[in-house]
Structure 1
């Protein structure tokens, strides 16, 4: 699939190259008329039209070096300029009887490949109107003695053929090109999603194996601690420390059991539809318990919130993103929650050192190592949000820090 950032420049280059070929061909035709038809009086006017056309094309070649190019409207206006120039040249050289009259189909074909359908249909109508006018109004070529242009059956056939060809190119070809673009976009996104799923699966497999392996040493530690408690009954301080250590080991065991249980539950059974405001408040309350020392200011809309679909992976994703902000700088973290008819948006702003542009480009799309260790956590969080049809984006702040924007679809 072509890089979308390079496609507009390629389209403009093709247009300017075709113009250059057209200018050379028209100049050669004018030179032929000048050399072999002394009584032909339109050479000067046609030469002036070509000169202006060539000047505009040269200016556009220079502007092609700019990093930013104008959009579809400007491209349409340039194709319209081609049609105007061709109409003037055909007017002074036989009109619809000119053997090159069907060159009108070239700008229509370019528009069908490059521009949206509304521009293509507009240009097709304009070309058809120009062709219709040239059937009745034009100046004859020098080899014809007749100065009037009566419309014959053959000319009506030419008009119908031109209109039908323009309509076919503008609709059918545009449909085919757009279909191919959608197909390429779909394939590209699915390749990226497949690669991301493979990386997540690799992490999950490794985590499950690690959780299983940790079970044995935790059980051994639990037995040793129980023996320490039994031996240290006379020493209250040692006994208290041993009890605390036992509680921590039991907590680790419960976490591992919960991890194994959640891994066996299917996604369909674990989905839940809940109001966004209620869900986010639960996440915030849980996070405050985990990180009570962090300063977090929350701004949530007062209006009735829509419902979103959540699961345990999304819970952990939001907790990870809040933890990333807290790890960057635990002071004055801001969380803003807004929603519309189609999306719920959470914005987390921290005052940390920020993230380099190089890391920003790769973060969430592939496994990335960062100094603060947020790479794998953000990768998994991004994958969890994407499963729910949402997006995660990071934006650097000029004053320092990073804005994390999470968008979730409304059901």
Structure 2
């Protein structure tokens, strides 16, 4: 019944064939029941409908059944044809005047709102015309149409009009359910792709982080081949420990992301752990204002997110400049605000921040995955991220996460 989200042209042609056949059959039946029928006018109207529909079907076959904007003109034509038939058969006294509602219902599901309003106004004018100018119904002998016959006509008109509207609504319901299932499938596919992209981004980021110590180990190993000494061995041991720490963090992050380590942590503990991951020279440049020391927050990935924000801010600032980390509560949320004294975000980055592999730094320094990871983390924890430039210069990134109940036990 539907083609490309609109009413199928084939169905429209079929409905017009059925309407013409129904009009002709109705005229024959009521004529047989003794009602006077002006065959010249009414038969001519039915014949015109048949001819125009045959031409319409031929034309639609030529253009591949792509009706597009012509549907409104057909509905207007059919409304005028119905008005003409009703004019000669009693006007609003005719029970089949109910089919105006059928036409409006059909238009409401297939046309724009402005077209439906226009058709409604046209129908109103047609009803006003029929009220004043329609030729009254009467029997072939000149007497009034019996009340029983009118009641029977109303019953038939209600059954036909109600059956059509019901069939149309059922078709709409099936289409709505089909579209809902399609939306759910696309949403699940999108979520799956985002999860895959998140994992790929994390894996790429940690691979990048491992490349430095592994490169150092490789150089130290080459050095030991030629000149074995304790200092070179100490470098290898240190860098190996560093690799193990990175891998351990990756394993912990995977557990947290899958809910295996979902217990809340004290904010002060998470902040301290993140700061301890920074080299001493960078840590000394971070000014911390912790105004939510007793608050609890989900552990999952928060340490890594804070490290991303702090490292980005430190890299964006001059070596002598400090970076601010401000943590405070606001309503039921915890806000982790990181401010730097750098050049701030470019307009392009403000439009596309959080997209993977998009960075304003040299590709050798940044991979464009940091803010993407932070955004995905916030979304998974029902939080959000705010990115802006400060009026006095520099960038400000705020991670907003829901605060856990103070009664929840902190993770050890």
TM-score of the superposition, structure 1-length normalised? 0.53
Deviation sequence 1:31-82 (CA, Å, 0-9, x none): x799x89x979xxxxxxxxxxxxxxxxxxxxxxxxxxxxxxxxxxxxxxxxx
SS of equivalent residue, structure 1 residue 370: coil
Instruction: Give 2:263's aligned residue.
Output: 273
Task: Please list, as runs of the form range in 1=range in 2, the aligned pairs for 1:236-247 lying within 5 A after superposition.
Answer: none
Structure with greater Cα Rg: 2
Answering whether residue 15 of structure 2 is matched by residue 22 of structure 1, we say no
C-alpha distance in structure 2 between counterparts of 1:170 and 1:280, whole Å: 53
SS of equivalent residue, structure 1 residue 310: coil
C-alpha distance in structure 1 between counterparts of 2:297 and 2:368, whole Å: 29
Tell me how far 1:283 sits from its aligned partner.
4.2
Listed as ranges, the gaps of 5+ residues in structure 2 are 7-66, 117-122, 139-144, 405-412
C-alpha distance in structure 2 between counterparts of 1:322 and 1:299, whole Å: 15
Instruction: Give 2:163's aligned residue.
Output: 161
Instruction: Give 1:71's aligned residue.
Output: none
The 8 Å contact of residues 336 and 346 in structure 1, kept in 2 or not, is answered as yes
C-alpha distance in structure 2 between counterparts of 1:366 and 1:266, whole Å: 19
Tell me how far 1:396 sits from its aligned partner.
2.8
Task: Please list, as runs of the form range in 1=range in 2, the aligned pairs for 1:5-404 lying within 5 A after superposition.
Answer: 21-22=71-72, 25-26=75-76, 97=97, 99-106=99-106, 108-109=108-109, 139=131, 142=134, 145=137, 150=151, 152-158=154-160, 160-161=162-163, 164-165=166-167, 168=170, 171-205=173-207, 208=210, 211-212=213-214, 214-219=216-221, 251-262=238-249, 267-268=254-255, 271=261, 273-283=263-273, 285-286=275-276, 291-294=282-285, 296-298=287-289, 300-301=291-292, 305-311=295-301, 314-329=302-317, 330-331=321-322, 333-338=324-329, 344-371=334-361, 373-376=365-368, 378=370, 381-382=373-374, 385=377, 389=381, 393=385, 395-397=387-389, 399=391, 400-404=393-397
C-alpha distance in structure 2 between counterparts of 1:316 and 1:324, whole Å: 12
TM-score of the superposition, structure 2-length normalised? 0.53
Deviation sequence 1:11-48 (CA, Å, 0-9, x none): 9xxxxx98985367537865x799x89x979xxxxxxx
Pick one of 388, 395, 399 that aligns with 1:406: 399
Deviation sequence 1:199-246 (CA, Å, 0-9, x none): 543554565566445434335668999959xxxxxxxxxxxxx8xx99
CA RMSD, 1 decimal: 5.3
C-alpha distance in structure 2 between counterparts of 1:259 and 1:33, whole Å: 78
C-alpha distance in structure 2 between counterparts of 1:182 and 1:410, whole Å: 30
Tell me how far 1:157 sits from its aligned partner.
1.8
C-alpha distance in structure 1 between counterparts of 2:296 and 2:171, whole Å: 45
Tell me how far 1:154 sits from its aligned partner.
1.4
Tell me the matched-pair count: 306
The 8 Å contact of residues 394 and 404 in structure 1, kept in 2 or not, is answered as yes
Tell me how far 1:322 sits from its aligned partner.
1.5
SS of equivalent residue, structure 2 residue 263: strand
